[in-house]
Amino acid sequence: MAENLVVVESPAKAKTIKKYLGKDFDVLASYGHVRDLVPKEGAVDPDHDYAMRYEVLTKNERHVESIVRGLKKSKALYLATDPDREGEAIA
């Protein structure tokens, strides 16, 4: 695993960016939206300053696990998500 980990949204972007960054960087894709508010009751906790409760989407669990494994082996993490609502949610 490389010293630096870059997380982008799509696998196509990951492949392209990896070509430019070289061997000191690993680039992984989140495959889009990775989490959502807990469904139904319990998504917002009014007793704790309205804290939001999230869960990882089942369809993206393996991608999140891959990112976590990569991060444990890296010294730095760079989030390179899109400058939009989706990118902000991933960050």
Name all domains of the chain by residue range, CATH numbers in brackets.
Answer: 4-90 (3.40.50.140)
Q: What is the mean pLDDT of the chain?
A: 89
DSSP secondary structure code for residue 70 in this structure: H
Inform me whether the pLDDT recorded for 4 exceeds 70: yes
Assigned token pair, 67: 């990112």
Note the pTM of the prediction, 2 decimals. Answer: 0.80
- Tens of pLDDT, residue by residue over 32-70, are 888 888 877 778 888 999 998 888 888 889 999 999 999
- Tens of pLDDT, residue by residue over 76-88, are 999 988 888 877 8
How many degrees, rounded to 5, is the angle at CA 4 between CA 77 and CA 33? 45
